[in-house]
Amino acid sequence: MGNLNVDSEKCCGCRICEMACSMVHLGLFNPRKAFLRIEMDRLPKVETKTSEIDVPIVCLQCDPAPCAKACPEGAIGKAATGAWIVDREKCTGCGLCVDVCSLGMISVKGQEEFARKCDLCEGKPLCVVYCPTGALTF
Amino acid sequence: MFQGGYKGRYLRIDLSQGKVKVEKLDEEIARKYWGGRGWGGYLLLKELASRIDPFSPENKVFFLTGPLQGTLTPYSPRFVVLTKSPLTGTFTRAVSGGQWAPELKFAGYDGIIIEGRSQKPVYILIDDEKVEIRDAVHLWGKATGETERLIKEELKDKTIRVISIGQAGERRVRFANVIHESRAAARGGTGAVMGSKNLKALAVRGTGNVEIADIAWFKSLLAEAYEAIKKDPASPSRIKYGTTGTVAVAHELGVMPVKNFSRGVFERIEGLMAETMREKIVIHDESCFACALPCGKLSLIKEGPYAGTVLQGPQYETIGLLGSNCGISDIEIVARANYLCNEYGMDTISTGNVIAYAIEAFQKGILTKQDTDGMEMRFGNTEALLSLVDRIAKREGLGNKLAEGVKAFSQELGGEAEKFAMHSKGQELASFEPRSVVGMGLLFATASTGANHSFGPTFREEMKNPLTGKGKAKILVENQNSYCLMDSLVYCSFSRYGLNNLSRMQFLSAVTGWNYTPEEIEHQNHRIYTAERLFNLREGFGKKDDTLPFRSLFEPMPDGPSKGNVVPLEEMLPEYYALRGWDGEGKPTVETLENLGLREFIDWI
């Protein structure tokens, strides 16, 4: 069990994590379909903290998890890795989970009829493996 | 059908008619020229009428990507802007990283061709399938950073990616550029051509996928590449200092340009060193899209009259031209001048050159206070530097003349004044004193764009014997060819840290499913370079233009490690032509054209 840890001081905003996420989960490249995102503010002011320039936003695997609580089908359950996983058989794609996640870390996109979120790659998150600066750890 | 990488289609936008068309990318052309620079060189030959005025509606601007953008291929988030240069009249290509190129691919396009001229200022919005030519009257006159911000606000989405021109492009400063998030597609005046078309910006949002042919192979290549990038001995220093690490080694070899390329030593170089910059202004290391080597140095001036100035950079070239070449030794002043150039949308290399030229002309008495709007011009004078940057962008007074480039201005002055105008084919020299590294001189003399360092630099290979012409033509042809590959696929020159031509090609194969032998790659590179040469020949350029400033050829270096040296161009040039398969006049032979599959352009030799 573990969690994705973020050190935004080290993040260089390369977005390799977003790309690796879409590569691993979808077999293609599309950063907008990744289960995490980098927010950038590259116009800092004198008083801006450097940890606020490039900031990774990741699923915190909250416990209790609002997304799981909101699910009327009980489709979101906790795996041994510590990740909350969507059961595609049970999920109807209603989107109630999407509404309650304040970070926007769960979504129902396009033609798909189920919700998608970070599953911690079965305990070996590829975003962490590929992160060049150590901003993401597990 | 494309199996991966390419989207297989591009946009053709006619600003005169206000029409947008989606066209299919011909797979045969893509296999022959790849993308980016190669594809653009072909389009310039194929689609532009001969000898047109670069500012006329007949000129076109091409914004092109290649097969790798929008994938995780290391060092590949780059786009290429091509047009007939208003600075030189030759082929030109400018490249930038950032976020824009992959965004265009996610929107579903490999490139954009801009034609004609709009009646009023416009910008283009590409939002997946929706493509609009939108009013930009409210953006005209705005700086590039402000333009990006306003477009993002107007469309209520800060993830929209924007490239734009500033006031310099609007006023057709002949070395105006295209700016994207504080990075520049810098040289040759592509921004001025955009300005001549009343085109302020191109904004892109893409939500689609980029697919690749062999994802399993791709993943294993990626793992190897990331390992190699980590292990490369140069990586830590490049991450810490970006390109500025080059300042120390270049100065030690007498390669930094000093006071309009007149000397080999800059006494106050300490103030411009990478360590000084890191300590004084760098606050954050930042990457382009999907790049594992964060060379971008986000900088902030923290105090003094320019406190609050934010930019990415300055980089090595800018430090050379706006710094030592203007006699400036304060990195904060260089950063401020760099920031102004970015906001006005103006190439720092050409800007540093024209200002240094004006200072030398003033010190020689060729220009007087009457010519300089009363300004006292001296090397090292901060006021002269910053105020001239303003005046060039606004085309005021002396600035209006300098905005035409150093070649045009020196010809207007005539005589002795032409001897220290530092350009080749009208493009100002980059940050390599050619007398101290003569292969770079051959590069400046022969590059299809006019003097350009990023067209196959030989500096690294030359370090052991920088002053002799022997063997330099061979190194240069090899490097120029490698850059054809890099600029066409489109890789960053930093891809040398961890990648080589073999691994660069393996990524291409995994992404597209296409295979090339090493011989075929060489052949492609030769074809791409020769097509550019054909364009220049067609426009009236030839051997007479493959030359260097009088100073580089005939004035021995007065001091420093290359004291007494000049560039032995006459010795290197014939060897260079022979290696390229060109005749003694620098024209490709019929046999060369047939070999390279360029027969369709035979009329131009």
* Cβ atoms B542, B586 nearer than 8 A: yes
Specify the range with the lowest mean pLDDT, choosing from A105-109, B350-354, B390-394, B528-532: A105-109
> What whole-number distance in Å separates Cα of residue B253 and Cα of residue B248?
9
Give residue B6's pLDDT band: very low, low, confident or very high (50, 70, 90): very high
Judged against a pLDDT cut of 90, whether residue A113 lies above it is answered with no
Domain ranges of chain B: 9-205
A12/B285 Cβ within 8 A: yes
CB contact at 8 A, B202 and B19:
no
Tokens 């599959």 found at: B597
| Fold (topology level) of A1-58+122-138 | Alpha-Beta Plaits (3.30.70)
Residue type, B123: Y
Q: Can you give the pTM of this predicted structure? A: 0.98
CATH fold for domain A61-117: Alpha-Beta Plaits (3.30.70)
CB-closest option in A19, A33, A50 to B290: A19
Do B16 and B199 form a contact (C-beta atoms < 8 A)? no
Other beta carbons within 10 Å of B265: 16
What H or E segment, with its residue span, contains residue B502? helix B501-512
Return the pLDDT at A1.
59
B interface with A, Cβ–Cβ below 8 Å: 70-72, 106, 145, 181-182, 207-212, 215, 219, 222, 226, 229-230, 283-294, 296, 298, 300, 302, 307-308, 310, 312
Which tokens go with B451?
A: 């003097």
The model's confidence at residue A111, banded by pLDDT at 50, 70 and 90, is confident
List the one residue out of B556, B258, B273, B270 whose CA is nearest residue B379.
B258
Which amino acid does the sequence have at B349?
A: I
Cβ–Cβ gap B300/A19 under 8 Å: no
DSSP state, residue B187: S
With an 8 Å Cβ cutoff, are B215 and A23 in contact?
yes
Q: How many CA atoms, within 13 angstroms, populate the side-chain half-sphere of residue B157? A: 12
Name the strand (E) or helix (H) holding B92.
strand B91-96
Q: Tell me whether strands B423-424 and B427-428 are parallel, antiparallel or unpaired.
A: antiparallel
Strands (E) across A1-138 are located at 5-6, 37-40, 54-57, 76-78, 84-86, 106-107, 116-117, 136-137
Mutate to test the interface with A, among B6, B7, B286, B312 (most CBs of A within 10 A): B286
For residue A93, the distance in angstroms to the closest alpha carbon of chain B comes to 20
Task: Please tell me the predicted confidence (pLDDT) of residue B102.
Answer: 98
A53-78 confidence digits (pLDDT tens) = 999 999 999 999 999 999 999 999 99
Q: Do domains A1-58+122-138 and A61-117 have the same CATH topology?
A: yes
pLDDT tens-digit series, residues B143-155: 999 999 999 999 9
Cα A137 → chain centroid: 13
Question: In this prediction, does ipTM exceed 0.85?
Answer: yes
Q: Do A46 and B308 touch (CB under 8 A)?
A: yes
Q: Where are the domains of chain A?
A: 1-58+122-138, 61-117
pLDDT tens string B39-98:
999 999 999 999 999 999 999 999 999 999 999 999 999 999 999 999 999 999 999 999
Fold observed for domain B9-205: Aldehyde Ferredoxin Oxidoreductase;  A, domain 1 (3.60.9)
User: Among all residues of chain A, which has the CA nearest to that of B146?
Assistant: A43
Measure the CA–CA gap between B67 and B430, rounded to whole angstroms.
29
The pLDDT tens digits of the residues spanning B160-175 come to 999 999 999 999 999 9
* The two three-digit tokens of residue B385, written as one number: 């530097």
The answer to whether the bond into B314 is cis (omega within 30° of 0) is: yes
Q: What percent of chain B clears pLDDT 90, i.e. is strictly above it? A: 99
Query: Do B287 and A42 make contact, defined as CB atoms within 8 angstroms?
Result: no
Residue type, B250: A
